[in-house]
Chain A
Amino acid sequence: MSSEWPLWEVFIRGQHGLNHRHVGSLHAPDPEMAIRNARDVYTRRNEGVSIWVVKSADITASSPSDKGPMFEPSNSKVYRHPTFYDIPDEVGHM
């Protein structure tokens, strides 16, 4: 047999964090053990309160060569940001 355990990506939400952040990967035979291994490998220094794991093979990523078309168009939509608008000081905080 000797097939290698699949690779999992590990996401951890820290004590004060709002979001799960990608922290690294590891090998495990199934999702339950991936969670446990993630606890032992990636929270040795009290880093986390919640763990997600996902099989690396199940991740679909944007293609790096699409970087331009994917992300640059939003550069020009400056009106989506509050700093685009000038509100007179007299109006106060908005």
Chain B
Amino acid sequence: MPSLPDIMTPDAETLAKAQGKGRAAPLEAGSPEHDLFTGLTRLGDNTLILGHRVSEWCGHAPVLEEDIALANMALDLIGQTQLWLGLAGEIEGRGRSADDLAFLRDAWHFHNVLLVERPNRDFGHTLMRQFLFDAWHQPMLRALEDSADDRIGEIALKAGKEVAYHLERSADLVIRLGDGTDESHARMQDALERLWPYVGEMFHVDEVDVRLAHEGLMPDPASLRPAWDATVTEILAEATLIRPEGEFFHKGGKQGRHTEHLGHLLAAMQWLQRAYPGAKW
């Protein structure tokens, strides 16, 4: 059967934008402000979405000590989100606060990597996701300390101290669980294989990254790979886990094309702000 003519509006995004905040002349794509705004939302959306995922464990972790430790990590990530998205709003100059950006953008305007929106699954999967991210996050923040923009350097310095601890902790637990019991080993190897296709996106470079790196504002993501490889190779070896072979990776998160999971996460996260527009909480 031939397909029916498309009677849908061709540009739903523009219409949706016109109804929400930021309708006043969005930043021009390719402009330095737009690039920096995009780079900052990539950082802030990573911490926001991962912090949200980690917070889902609160009250449900396998042991009280872990419940408390995970909440600390989620709190660090939420705090970093406030800083990154706060700065993004400032750069944008359209009066949007960190909360506006977190609660009033739709999924296609989120720029986090797909890795952080993957569901928690079991506790081992959560920790493996954390480790793979931390091993990227730490060298990323270290490089950001030297950003040409001092505001970025300051945030990176503060966040870097927190994330150094996150990495120490997640790496240690990956080792312990990889080299624990047969069951824990199998679970960790399974988690690693499931998450592996989401690793490559963290190092994937698009034209925004190129321009930001050129301006000395943010590092070239590909430059972080050797540090990440060194950490991951060492920890996986100690954990007796086998590094998957595949080079294929899913991408799109940084450009706003997400998995189905993000929509559900945002539906919960943004619900109150969306249901009662303009209310103060």
| Partner of B65 from A1, A27, A32 at Cβ < 8 Å | A27
B172 adjacent to A40 (CB under 8 Å): no
Residues in B with CB closer than 8 Å to A41 are 65, 68-69
| Partner of B172 from A26, A27, A32 at Cβ < 8 Å | A32
Residues in A with CB closer than 8 Å to B68 are 37, 40-41, 44
A37 to B72, CA, bound (A): 11
B72 adjacent to A44 (CB under 8 Å): yes
Residues in B with CB closer than 8 Å to A32 are 172
Residues in A with CB closer than 8 Å to B181 are 1
Using a Cβ–Cβ cut-off of 8 Å, how many residues does chain A contribute to the interface with B? 13
Whether B63 sits at the interface, judged by CB under 8 Å, is yes
The residue in chain A whose Cβ has the minimal distance to the Cβ of B69 is A40
A32 to B168, CA, bound (A): 12
Residues in B with CB closer than 8 Å to A5 are 63
26 residue pairs A–B, Cβ–Cβ below 8 Å: A1-B181, A5-B63, A26-B65, A27-B63, A27-B64, A27-B65, A28-B65, A29-B176, A32-B172, A33-B172, A33-B176, A36-B69, A36-B169, A36-B172, A37-B65, A37-B68, A37-B69, A40-B65, A40-B68, A40-B69, A40-B72, A41-B65, A41-B68, A41-B69, A44-B68, A44-B72
Interface string of A3-46 (1 = CB under 8 A from B): 00100000000000000000000111100110011001100100
A33 to B173, CA, bound (A): 9
Within the complex, the shortest CB–CB distance from B117 to chain A, in Å, comes to: 25
Interface string of B162-185 (1 = CB under 8 A from A): 000000010010001000010000
A32 to B69, CA, bound (A): 14
A70 to B141, CA, bound (A): 57
Residues in B with CB closer than 8 Å to A40 are 65, 68-69, 72
The residue in chain B whose Cβ has the minimal distance to the Cβ of A4 is B63
Choose among B65, B169, B172 the residue with the greatest number of A CB atoms under 10 Å from its CB: B65
In B63-82, the 8 Å CB interface with A consists of: 63-65, 68-69, 72
Residues in B with CB closer than 8 Å to A36 are 69, 169, 172
Within the complex, the shortest CB–CB distance from B170 to chain A, in Å, comes to: 11
Within the complex, the shortest CB–CB distance from A55 to chain B, in Å, comes to: 15
The residue in chain A whose Cβ has the minimal distance to the Cβ of B169 is A36
The residue in chain B whose Cβ has the minimal distance to the Cβ of A1 is B181
* Closest 4 A/B residue pairs (Cβ): A40-B69, A37-B65, A40-B68, A40-B72
Within the complex, the shortest CB–CB distance from A26 to chain B, in Å, comes to: 6
The residue in chain B whose Cβ has the minimal distance to the Cβ of A34 is B65
A5 to B68, CA, bound (A): 16
The residue in chain B whose Cβ has the minimal distance to the Cβ of A28 is B65
Within the complex, the shortest CB–CB distance from A39 to chain B, in Å, comes to: 8
A64 to B23, CA, bound (A): 74
The residue in chain A whose Cβ has the minimal distance to the Cβ of B71 is A40
